[in-house]
Amino acid sequence: MTNNLVWQDQHVSREDRSSIKHQKPCLLWFTGLSGAGKSTIANALDLALHNMGYHTFLLDGDNVRHGLNKDLGFSDTDRVENIRRIGEVSKLFTDAGLIVLSAFISPFASDRQLVRNLFDQGEFIEVFMDTPLNTCEARDPKGLYKKARAGKIQHFTGIDSPYERPENPQMTLDTSTLTIEQCLATLLSFLKENHYIREKHGKQASTDDTSC
């Protein structure tokens, strides 16, 4: 199908695009059980980075299924395709120079690896939200555990479908012991220490410092 397609080189490189944003593009991939705090922490980080003047984009599991992936169900094939498309979209956003945050349960190591393979070394940051099942279930923010326990939802991660723990995540956060502020501080330190963002915040950097 793609035999007659040739990759078109572009005059403006991804480095050109990110350099005017004073940031190093990357994908922060939040994975973990439902209720582990992926959306909450990804949203908090998105807001903090935005307020600091960085250019971000947040992809949230449920929202993507309302649009781009609304034709997909929850069969094995569709589940893999769901993650593949999210990976490809994230890749386009990082090519545009953005810091992308994705919050998806993504329970299977092979699916996460599929996305990791799309990115260069250091661009894919796996953030494992390692909140214990009993805390997630007690929170049950969407009432899904209750439904799963009652047999109204099948193949629910953590109940009757496995969650494969990441073996070498870049970061592990347990929101049963860490506050939102502590998670945020950990993530921001990581991004600064690894030069995804600068010590000085972006708004300041873009107005009083042109050395980037």
190-205 as b/e, with b when 16 or more CB fall inside 10 Å?
Answer: bbeeeebbbeebbeeb
56-60 vs 171-173, strand pairing mode: unpaired
- To which H or E segment does residue 204 belong? helix 202-208
Q: How far is the CB of 39 from ligand ADP (least distance, A)?
A: 3
The answer to the question of residue 157 lying near ligand ADP (CB under 6 A) is no
Stretch that binds ligand ADP, among 30-38, 94-102, 155-163, 189-197 (CB under 6 A): 30-38
Query: Is-catalytic flag, 75?
Result: no
The answer to the question of residue 23 lying near ligand ADP (CB under 6 A) is no
The answer to the question of residue 36 lying near ligand ADP (CB under 6 A) is yes
Please select the residue that binds ligand ADP; options are 132, 180, 190, 206, rule is CB under 6 A: 180
The answer to the question of residue 39 lying near ligand ADP (CB under 6 A) is yes
CA distances (Å), 137 to each of 24, 56, 88, 141, 142, in order? 36, 30, 31, 9, 10
The answer to the question of residue 40 lying near ligand ADP (CB under 6 A) is yes
Q: Which residues contact 19 (CB under 8 A, 6 or more apart)?
A: 97, 212
Q: Kindly name the residue from 18, 39, 90, 106 that is annotated as catalytic.
A: 106
The answer to the question of residue 48 lying near ligand ADP (CB under 6 A) is no
Pick out residues in 122-151 that bind ligand ADP (CB under 6 A): 129, 139, 141
Stretch that binds ligand ADP, among 47-55, 79-87, 159-167, 175-183 (CB under 6 A): 175-183
Q: How far, in Å, CA of 42 to CA of 58, rounded? A: 7
Pick out residues in 66-105 that bind ligand ADP (CB under 6 A): 103
- Under a CB-based contact definition with an 8 Å cutoff, are residues 52 and 201 in contact? yes
Q: How far, in Å, CA of 118 to CA of 79, rounded? A: 17
- To which H or E segment does residue 27 belong? strand 26-32
Please select the residue that binds ligand ADP; options are 29, 175, 187, 201, rule is CB under 6 A: 175
Q: How far is the CB of 60 from ligand ADP (least distance, A)?
A: 8
- At 182, list the tokens: 């502590």
The catalytic residues are: 106
In the complex, the residues that contact ligand ADP under the rule CB under 6 A are 32, 34-41, 103, 129, 139, 141, 175, 178-180, 183
